């Protein structure tokens, strides 16, 4: 299968080249040329399938020309070695926990898949690639962990100074080896702009082969469709319409869920729940897309003022606003509302939600007020301990620190401060 640029459908490359390039030369995101629905029997029998079997069937059509079936199965066996439990909180509401991987964030799956892909593509060769990544929190830790020690791959992470949690920063800055952390004086949007600019800078490209591990990269983005199929496997017997509420920042996760829908997964609606960075909720109200400077919130992984993947979502619904509105809603919530939701969930069910999951819960309950009777699943994208100060302040409890987090807490932070794009360019050219 080929992938084409959303800026120019005539520009087409295979999966391997799309992964290595990250973004098309015309700045367009890569998108699969087709999505072939899976047989109805796959969904009828999904309860009997393992996570690895589900994932293999779902993603094979997109990668088969560059990842032989045996290699794909090997990769999936290695990366899907933890659970994705669906936890019922209320009669019609469940949380899909995506934080049981090595960095306790949903991005572990995509980061590990991409790392394995690049490791395979560069195996035995002398060529080296630099993975250049902007992160608002969890992406950096997941990418750093997934690519640590991968031969032929250097990783450069850009994160906004003072705008990620202490634990997230530890996961970004303490690994060493082939991982370099750059602490940017600015916002996530500043980091993302620097990354996008570097991809088109010929001075840098003459020195380095660049790719990105943000959700703009197809190898990071597409595997996230597994989550929705794993949830469907567990919730299928409920016999009710399923709706998903996804805490959304760069909109890659919910976009992958819509791909699962296009593969044939029965789901009636998607809710993109955001914090005060409400570009998409305003678009759904007005039909006008107006990016803005992001603002800092307690759900920092969603502090994005110009979500890259929303163009993919529009494409999945044929750039038809009426069709999009039929299957997709978006709501925004303040920090005050987020904390209130965390407290409500804890008081009624004893469940400790992180700020991102709480935003997902709010999106779901808002939708269900107008659409009662549906079975709603909100995504819990990170372990609450990663946002310990907010959890302590809001709930008055201190969650037990998991072993994955304990491993990084005592390590020394090592980062390089930068302020401008020229600082980044100088580092990439000289090193």
- Expressed in percent and rounded to 5, the helix, strand and coil fractions of the chain are 45, 15, 35
Three-state DSSP state, 206:
coil
Burial code of 131-166, b = ≥16 C-beta within 10 A, e = fewer?
bbbbbbbbbbbbbbbbbbebebbbbbbbbbbebbbe
Residue 156 clears pLDDT 80, i.e. is over it: yes
The pLDDT tens digits of the residues spanning 102-128 come to 888 898 999 999 989 988 988 766 778
For residues 64 and 71, what is the distance between their CA atoms, to the nearest angstrom?
10
Assign 370 a pLDDT band (cuts: 50, 70, 90): very high
- Catalytic residue numbers, as ranges: 107
pLDDT at 238: 65
The pLDDT tens digits of the residues spanning 173-219 come to 888 889 999 999 998 889 988 988 998 899 999 988 888 887 889 99
Of 273, 297, 302, 299, the C-alpha closest to 386 is 299
For residues 284 and 313, what is the distance between their CA atoms, to the nearest angstrom?
13
Percent of the chain with pLDDT over 90: 69
Q: Which domains does the chain have, with CATH numbers?
A: 83-102+222-400 (3.40.50.1100)
How far CA 268 is from CA of 148, 179, 241, 287, in Å, comes to: 39, 41, 6, 22
**Average pLDDT of the segment spanning 40-69:** 97
Q: pTM for this structure?
A: 0.89
């Amino acid at each position: 299968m080929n992938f084409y640029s959303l800026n120019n459908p005539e520009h087409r490359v295979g999966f391997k080249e799309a992964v290595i390039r990250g973004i098309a030369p015309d700045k367009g995101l890569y998108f699969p040329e087709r999505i072939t629905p899976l047989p109805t029997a796959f969904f009828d029998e999904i309860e009997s399938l393992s996570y690895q079997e589900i994932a293999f069937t779902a993603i094979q059509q997109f990668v088969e020309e560059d990842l032989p079936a045996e290699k794909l199965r090997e990769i999936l066996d290695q990366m899907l070695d933890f659970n994705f439990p669906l936890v019922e909180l209320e009669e019609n509401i469940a949380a899909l926990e995506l934080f049981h991987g090595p960095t306790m964030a949903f991005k572990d799956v995509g980061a590990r898949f991409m790392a394995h892909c690049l490791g395979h593509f560069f195996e035995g060769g002398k060529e080296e690639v630099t993975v250049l990544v902007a992160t608002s929190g969890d992406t950096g830790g997941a990418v750093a962990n997934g690519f640590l020690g991968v031969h032929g791959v250097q990783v450069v992470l850009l994160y906004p100074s003072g705008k990620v949690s202490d634990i997230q920063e530890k996961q970004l800055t303490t690994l060493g080896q082939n991982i370099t952390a750059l602490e940017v004086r600015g916002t996530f949007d500043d980091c993302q702009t620097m990354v996008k600019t570097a991809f088109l800078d010929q001075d840098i490209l003459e020195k380095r082969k660049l790719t990105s591990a943000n959700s703009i990269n197809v190898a990071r983005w597409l595997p996230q469709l597994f989550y929705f199929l794993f949830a469907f496997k567990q919730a299928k017997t409920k016999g009710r319409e399923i709706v998903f509420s996804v805490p959304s920042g760069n909109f890659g996760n919910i976009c992958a869920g819509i791909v699962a829908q296009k593969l044939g997964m029965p789901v009636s609606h998607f809710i993109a729940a955001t914090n005060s960075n409400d570009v998409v909720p305003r678009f759904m109200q007005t039909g006008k897309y107006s990016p803005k400077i992001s603002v800092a919130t307690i759900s920092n992984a969603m502090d994005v003022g110009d979500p890259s993947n929303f163009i993919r979502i529009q494409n999945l619904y044929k750039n038809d606003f009426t069709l999009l509105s039929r299957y997709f809603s978006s709501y925004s919530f303040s920090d005050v509302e987020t904390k209130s939701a965390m407290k409500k969930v804890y008081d009624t069910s004893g469940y400790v939600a992180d700020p991102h999951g709480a935003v997902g819960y709010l999106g779901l309950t808002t939708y269900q007020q107008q659409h009662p009777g549906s079975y709603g699943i909100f995504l819990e994208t990170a372990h609450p301990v990663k946002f310990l100060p907010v959890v302590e302040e809001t709930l008055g409890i201190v969650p037990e620190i998991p072993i994955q987090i304990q491993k990084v807490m005592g390590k020394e932070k090592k980062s390089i401060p930068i302020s401008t794009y020229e600082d980044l360019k100088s580092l990439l050219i000289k090193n």
